[in-house]
């Protein structure tokens, strides 16, 4: 792509040779020796110039107006927008490849499925009865879109995902490889010893717009209605969301976080890596549950939480947990008693 085309796609100001061919983007922090040819680098601050002065010889950079004098060819933006323009540049490279064949002859698409004219279906993808694929969406190889699932526009489903029966996914979403959406919820009933019944899970999963779900995640469908994930929520790899969960908008969940069934996570909450939330718990808006923490209680919003303890008999654990909640008050009372004892000792000595 020519540098002038990159300037147009990223809405930046072009400095220098617009016909310069750009084939690659590289990390300035890994630069050793002279910059590679036909390559663009991102230089957002003077520290990069100090640590890698040779970047000034690059064929092209994305940089700020304060630094543009150091470069011959550049895409220039204001410093307040530098990260946004960097994201735009990465998006150009991320989605540059498109297959020559829009609907692969090696894919299976049911006659009743509705696939938009601009959508792309890769080889060995399967789109089943009544499924809908929106404009400019992509279904990669090995994906199975089960009956009556609906996928919005500009959404990409990466290889080997399963989009379950009646699942709904919004616009501008990214679902990465191996993720299963709409799996059966974990519901069983033991009527008496030796009699275990599976509870049918007849609901679905509903996912909003601009949601990103990492690789090898699992999201169970609801027992009756919908497991939901709100707009702009981002899930890392290997996250599990149990049946009936209700996840708000702008939520972050890091790798290996686990939600049991019927958990509610409100808007702007953060669930860090390997955190675990018990069934039916509510995480209020803006709460942060730090890494490797666990909770069996609702968490109020606007503050961070940390804690996980060694497993012990349940009744003892409940007593310990209750005492831990009261520990600050207990310490204050002990401190007050110590002061009283010290006062009495001094009085006794004086008398």
DSSP 199: P
Which residues, 6+ apart, have CB-to-CB distance to 93 below 8 Å? 25
DSSP 36: P
CA atoms of 162 and 147, how far apart (whole Å): 11
Q: Output phi, psi for 92, to 5 deg.
A: -60, -45
Three-state DSSP class for 63? Answer: strand
Instruction: List strands edge to edge, sheet with 120-121.
Output: 120-121, 138-139, 156-157, 174-175, 212-213, 234-235, 252-253, 270-271, 288-289, 304-305
CA atoms of 116 and 254, how far apart (whole Å): 33
According to DSSP, the residues that pair with 241 across neighbouring strands are 219, 259
Q: Output phi, psi for 91, to 5 deg.
A: -65, -35
- Locate 265 and state its tokens: 């996570």
Please pick, among 52, 140, 210, 243, the residue that the annotation labels catalytic: 243
CA distances from 97 to 39, 55, 62, 93, 101 (A): 18, 28, 22, 8, 12
According to DSSP, the residues that pair with 120 across neighbouring strands are 138
Q: Are 195 and 211 in contact (CB under 8 A)?
A: no
> Is-catalytic flag, 52?
no
Nearest to 120 by CA among 148, 139, 141: 139
CA atoms of 214 and 231, how far apart (whole Å): 15
Residues classed as catalytic: 243
């Amino acid at each position: 792509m020519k540098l002038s085309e990159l300037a147009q796609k990223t809405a930046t100001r072009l400095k220098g040779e617009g016909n310069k061919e750009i084939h690659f983007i590289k990390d300035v922090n890994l630069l050793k020796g002279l910059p590679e040819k036909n390559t663009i680098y991102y230089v957002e601050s003077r520290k990069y110039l100090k640590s890698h002065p040779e970047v000034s010889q690059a064929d092209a950079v994305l940089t700020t107006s304060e630094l543009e004098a150091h470069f011959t060819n550049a895409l220039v933006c204001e410093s307040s927008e530098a990260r946004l323009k960097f994201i735009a540049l990465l998006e150009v490279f991320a989605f540059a490849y498109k297959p020559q064949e829009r609907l692969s002859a090696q894919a299976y698409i049911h006659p009743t499925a509705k696939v938009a004219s601009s959508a792309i279906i890769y080889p060995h993808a399967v789109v089943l009865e009544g499924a809908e694929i929106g404009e400019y969406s992509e279904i990669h190889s090995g994906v199975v879109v089960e009956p009556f699932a609906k996928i919005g526009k500009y959404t990409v489903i990466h290889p080997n995902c399963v989009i379950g029966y009646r699942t709904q996914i919004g616009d501008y979403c990214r679902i990465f490889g191996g993720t299963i959406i709409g799996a059966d919820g974990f519901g069983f009933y033991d009527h008496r010893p030796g009699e275990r019944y599976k509870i049918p899970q007849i609901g679905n999963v509903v996912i909003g717009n601009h949601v990103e779900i990492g690789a090898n995640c699992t999201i169970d469908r609801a027992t009756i209605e919908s497991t939901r994930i709100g707009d702009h929520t981002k899930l890392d790899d290997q996250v599990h969301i149990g049946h009936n969960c209700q996840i708000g908008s702008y939520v972050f969940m890091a790798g290996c976080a686990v939600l049991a069934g019927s958990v509610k996570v409100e808007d702007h909450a953060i669930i860090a890596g390997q955190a675990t939330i018990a069934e039916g718990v509510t995480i209020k808006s803006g709460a942060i549950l730090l890494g490797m923490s666990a909770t069996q209680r609702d968490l109020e919003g606007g503050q961070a939480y940390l804690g996980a303890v060694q497993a012990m008999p349940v009744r003892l654990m409940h007593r310990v947990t209750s005492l831990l909640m009261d520990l600050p008050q207990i310490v204050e009372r002990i401190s007050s008693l110590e002061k009283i004892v010290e006062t009495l000792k001094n009085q006794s000595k004086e008398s």
